[in-house]
Each structure stands twice: as structure tokens, then as C-alpha cells.
Amino acid sequence: MTPLARILADRIREAGPLTVADYMADCLLHPVHGYYTTRDPFGAGGDFTTAPEISQMFGELFGLAIAQAWIDRGAPSPFTLAELGPGRGTLMADILRATRGVPGFHAAARLTLVEASPRLRQLQGETLAAFRPVWADRIEALPEAPLFLIANEFLDALPIRQFQRGPQGWQERLIGLRDDALTFGLSAFLTQVPDTPAFRHAPDPALVEDSLPARLAVAAVSARIARHGGVAYWIDYGGWRSGGDTLQALRQHKPDDPLAHPGEADLTAHVDFEPLAALAQAFAYDTQGAVLSRLGIDARAERLARNLTGAALESHRAAHRRLTDPSEMGSLFKVLAATSAGAPMPPGFA
Ligand code: SAH
């Protein structure tokens, strides 16, 4: 039993079962035992890796896309350059390096990061010191200004609730105790479920997930963009009303039982982009592979390959494949670009 499992078991004995969202929130961000609170989970020594950690091309291409979107919107100055859940700061470092030559972009940018983990804030501060980032505690605290924002694998870390539909109606999936071990169970029948397309169109039987924090995050960003202009790129794994149980735990690069090691495994869920897209005044949506291809990843990969040989060249080619190939991250990962009504199409979309 992990220390967090003992705390949660005591809480369940005292106050009854937890929702999946309550469980996820504590597993990831409990102030003492939370997964992100206590560690740097990225890379070979960690539990998982992400697109910006796989190749510098990811951040370079999205950096140039953001700079182009900024130019297309009249190069507002000052503007907020923001990232949600910046991890090690690698993505933003690549964005800033790639946009050095864009006239006026760095001078106008106010770099703002939203990060819950003190440990990761410190790492981000070291990586991005030259750009004097400020941290906002909440998305709602982003400045009232034009907003150009990126969030890679942020939404998948936000808590979800799970609802199950059977012949007698809807129940919520809860986490309780059996023989002192955490176990899944079901609530009493519900008179109400969230009002999103996934619920309105759910088959019978069905398991449907909903992330209220994800909807609030996208709503807060979209509201800033509606008022002041800008673009947000939301990149994550998931789909459009895909449905089913997608709660997953990853520990040392291997799938784990989500209830087995609370606080010691990464816990995520697939993102349902449909209710999120509806919160923007205008949006575009496609696979990561298609978007990176339109942003010019093949030409950029060739350019970088010219200076590489041997194992370095091999790993560069593998990284290119990993980001774009449909059998790797190319199709599972999606990009939702949100902007304001009547504004130009964000770069990367047809
Ligand atoms: N974007 C990075 C890291 C992805 S991991 C990359 O692509 O490599 C998820 C990130 O979101 C971590 O930095 C984590 O600490 C942060 N995070 C998770 N939940 C959060 C929340 N509720 N508020 C702010 N940051 C959060």
C-alpha cells in the first residue's frame, strides 16, 4: 500500500466512496504524496515521455505556428504567451528558440506559465530563466490581453468522472473499499448527468466520461480569446465522442492498474474534444500527424538530418516517425486550435 492509498482508505471509511475525479485529483496533486507534486516524471528514468521530449521539432513547429498566428492578428503588443502544464519547460524553450528571428515577437511577449507542481515550477524556472516567466496559479488569473497559448498533455491530467448507463438508468463509478483494498463500485441511480453531447448521444449500455475541469479550462481560455483575440493550441490524446473507460495508469513506462499505486503512477484519461471545441467562438481540429505535416515537419526533419550521422540520425528518424506515424502518436493525438469569431485560420489547418 502506498502512503496515499492509506490516507484515501481512511477517508473512505470516514466519509464514504470517492468519485474517480476526487481520486485522480489526489493521486496527481496531493500536496505531500501527489504524483506531480513530488517528481519529474519525464524521460527514460521516469514514467512516460511526451512529444516535446521526443524531438525539438515539435516545439519549433508550434512556435512558428504561434508566431504566424500572432502576425496574422496584427502583431498585438503586449500579448500573453502562455503554456499550461509546461512539464520540464522543454516545449516553451523550443518555441522561444524557434521564434527568436520573428521581428518584435519576443519583445511583445509576456511569458506566463500555469503549473500546479512546485517541483516542476522550479525546473521550468531554471530552463526559462532568460525569459523571466511569471506563474499564474489558475487559468482564470491569466492577464486580460491578447492570448497565444499552448497546452500539450495538460487536459489528459485533469480529473474525470465516469458514468455508467444500464437498463435501469445512470450510475456514477465510485472508488470504495473491499477487504481494505481500493475497489471500483457504483453509486445509487442518478436523476441527472452532465449535459454534454456524449451523454445526450450515449448508447445503452454505455460508459461515459466527463471532465468538468477540462471544460472550465477551455472555457476560461476561450473567453480571454473572445475578448482580446489570440489562438490556443490544445494537443492531447483522445477523440471526438469516443466513449468507454479510458482511465489509465502508467508507471515506469508500463501500464498499471489505476488503483494499485496511488501517487506513484501517472493517471490520465483520453480527452473528449467535442464539448471543448463547442466552448470556442471558432475552432479547427485534426490529428497531430496531419497538423505537423502542414506545419512542415518533413522539410524540418530533412534539414536537421543533414547534420546527423549514425545513431543520432537513426534516433532523429525514429522521433520523426513517432510524432507523425498513424501507428504511433500521429493519429491518437489530436490538435484543437481555438480562436475568435471571424479571425484567420490558425496555421496547421487546411
Ligand atoms: N506539457 C508537458 C508536460 C505534460 S504532463 C509536456 O508535454 O512534456 C502534465 C503537466 O501538467 C505537468 O507539468 C503537471 O504538473 C501539470 N498539471 C497537471 N494538473 C495540473 C493542474 N490542475 N493545474 C496546473 N498544472 C497541472
CATH of the domain at 235: 3.40.50.12710
Task: Inform me whether the pLDDT recorded for 44 exceeds 70.
Answer: no
Domain count, the chain: 1
> How many Å apart are CA 304 and CA 102, to the nearest integer?
20
* Domain-located, residue 203: no
* Domain-located, residue 308: yes
Residue 43: predicted pLDDT: 67
Residue 38: predicted pLDDT: 80
- How do residues 214-249 score in pLDDT, each as one tens digit? 999 999 999 999 999 999 999 999 999 988 999 999
Q: What is the mean pLDDT of residues 16-26?
A: 98
Nearest to 156 by CA among 272, 62, 55, 291: 272
Ligand 1, atom 23: closest residue by C-alpha: 116
- How do residues 155-205 score in pLDDT, each as one tens digit? 999 999 999 999 999 999 999 999 999 999 999 999 999 999 999 999 999
> How many Å apart are CA 36 and CA 119, to the nearest integer?
8
Residue 45: predicted pLDDT: 73
> How many Å apart are CA 342 and CA 346, to the nearest integer?
12
Ligand 1, atom 20: closest residue by C-alpha: 116
Residue 301 domain boundaries: 33-159+210-339
* Ligand 1 closest atom vs CA 153: 4
Q: Which residues contact 278 (CB under 8 A, 6 or more apart)?
A: 197
> For residue 81, how far is its CA from the centre of ligand 1 (angstroms)?
17
- How do residues 212-221 score in pLDDT, each as one tens digit? 999 999 999 9
* Domain-located, residue 134: yes
* Domain-located, residue 177: no
Q: Which residues line ligand 1 (CB under 6 A)?
A: 28, 36, 42, 50, 52-53, 85-87, 91, 114-117, 120, 152-154, 157-158
Q: In terms of C-beta density within 10 A (0-12 exposed, 13-18 middle, 19 or more buried), how is residue 232 classed?
A: buried
Task: Inform me whether the pLDDT recorded for 265 exceeds 80.
Answer: yes
Ligand 1, atom 17: closest residue by C-alpha: 85
- How do residues 105-116 score in pLDDT, each as one tens digit? 999 999 999 999
Q: What percent of the chain has pLDDT over 70?
A: 99
Global model pTM greater than 0.95: yes
Task: Inform me whether the pLDDT recorded for 311 exceeds 80.
Answer: yes
Q: What percent of the chain has pLDDT over 90?
A: 94
> How many Å apart are CA 184 and CA 289, to the nearest integer?
36
